[in-house]
Amino acid sequence: MTQPLDIARANPNAPAIVGGVVSAPARASLIGLSRPALAAALQGAGVGERESRMRASQIFNWLYVRGATSFDEMTNISKAMRATLDTHFTLSRLDIVSEQISTDGTRKWLLRLADGNEVETVFIPEPGRGTLCVSSQVGCTLTCTFCHTGTQRLVRNLTAGEIVAQVLIARDSLDEWPQVNAPATDTRRTLTNVVMMGMGEPLYNFDAVRDALDVVSDGDGLSISKRRITLSTSGIVPEIERCGAEMGVMLAISLHGVRDEVRDELVPINKKYPIAELLRACRHYPGLSNARRITFEYVMLKGVNDSNQDAKELVRLLKGIPAKINLIPFNPWPGTRYECSDWDRIEAFADIVNKAGYASPVRTPRGRDILAACGQLKSESEKERASVRMARLRAENQDAPI
Ligand code: SAH
Ligand code: SF4
């Protein structure tokens, strides 16, 4: 049974919403900044150059090792400095609008950003590990026909801070920061892996995703190693090499079709970057080896891409690429025109893939009862139409004192 916990937590740092208009936060958030960027921010607030570097390391440690949510907790920083920090900066997390827990333990949070837009984040517990599925955009520019997020137009990219905040909120909620007075290493970690598989196409928000993952993987902070971080892309070919070179994370490709006519329909970006080009970029992915394989995701759609012929073609296409194959039973959502392949069809397909040397490739659907499974995420946030925006701005300008 699903337990919707409507906890709409009050966030003291959240911006005020007055008459439906969200005012920008007066103080800048320090969440998501690298240590050099933190030091630069402190210098901007009048802290000396040398001191700012030391304080930046201390704050980084408080934020990402201890999970501090206020400057007051930072007991190795003088009271006067804490007060200065508090006047200039916030450690604002995102607001939790709701938290839902599935019968299988999967948790989904609906989070509200400072401008009122909303995104979803999902935690999937498994024996010995736990994976957080993080969003990179509000909505998506792409329109993959089997994906719920694809029905929501892109509203905007998330900032690095908003991406990192999703990880902090999950750790808060799972209550796994080290206890006060316990050594920082003394932490029961259930959140061990991060996948950029929530809402949005991460390679269309490259810089913010890269900066956020640098913070998440920092060994003096959250310390989730890049081997445990996977970025999934629909196949933005020109960014794939940069992804390996600059982010160095594990790569997953949403393949879903083995012939261009079929993939053009399912993943329309295929018309721009067809299968042959995509696989060429994969063969050249920096750091690729048998120990660091690319995962190819393949959603099982009844009568569309699930024949034995398709399975054989999949194996043929991936020949020579160090690869894992992940067959994903299609997760339905309201209004979809697709159906999930029958179980015996999935088994027959998996059998061909297994016989070609790829182990247990079927991904168990998790959190379907709370629409938290792959491709089911969507928020109510809509991009304001240009005409509506103009009317609002005109009205606001009329009200503004001259
Ligand atoms: N935009 C990125 C990452 C987010 S989607 C991408 O497309 O790769 C994460 C994964 O879920 C992708 O493989 C996506 O194709 C898959 N997916 C989307 N909708 C789905 C659905 N309804 N059922 C199962 N998987 C789905
Ligand atoms: Fe966007 Fe990925 Fe969904 Fe395609 S599958 S619409 S790229 S989120």
Phi/psi at 22 (5° precision)? -90, 125
Measure the CA–CA gap between 344 and 322, rounded to whole angstroms: 28
Among residues 45, 41, 25, which one has the least CA distance to residue 33?
41
pLDDT at 236: 98
Please name which ligand lies nearest the alpha carbon of 254: 1
Domain with CATH 1.10.150.530 in the chain: 32-90
pLDDT in tens, 101-129: 999 999 999 999 999 999 999 999 999 89
CATH topology for 95-382 is TIM Barrel (3.20.20)
Q: Which residues of the chain form CATH 3.20.20.70?
A: 95-382
Q: Dihedral sign, CA of 45, 51, 53, 59?
A: negative
Q: Cα separation of 141 and 153, whole Å?
A: 6
232 lines ligand 1 (CB under 6 A): yes
Distance between Cα 231 and ligand 2 center (Å): 13
State the catalytic residue, choosing from 99, 118, 120, 239.
120
Tell which wins on pLDDT, 132 or 92.
Answer: 132
Active site residue 374: yes
| 208 C-alpha to ligand 2 centroid (Å) | 18
CATH topology of domain 32-90: DNA polymerase; domain 1 (1.10.150)
Using a 6 Å cutoff on CB, does residue 38 contact ligand 2?
no
The pLDDT, as a whole number, for residue 178 is 83
Residue from 197, 209, 300, 363 whose mutation best tests the ligand 1 pocket (most atoms within 8 A of CB): 197
What's residue 68's pLDDT?
96
Query: Which residue's CA is the nearest one to ligand 1's atom 19?
Result: 375
197 lines ligand 1 (CB under 6 A): yes
pLDDT on residue 201: 97
pTM: 0.88
The confidence band for 394, taking pLDDT boundaries of 50, 70 and 90, is low
Residue pLDDT, tens place only, 226-243: 999 999 999 999 999 999
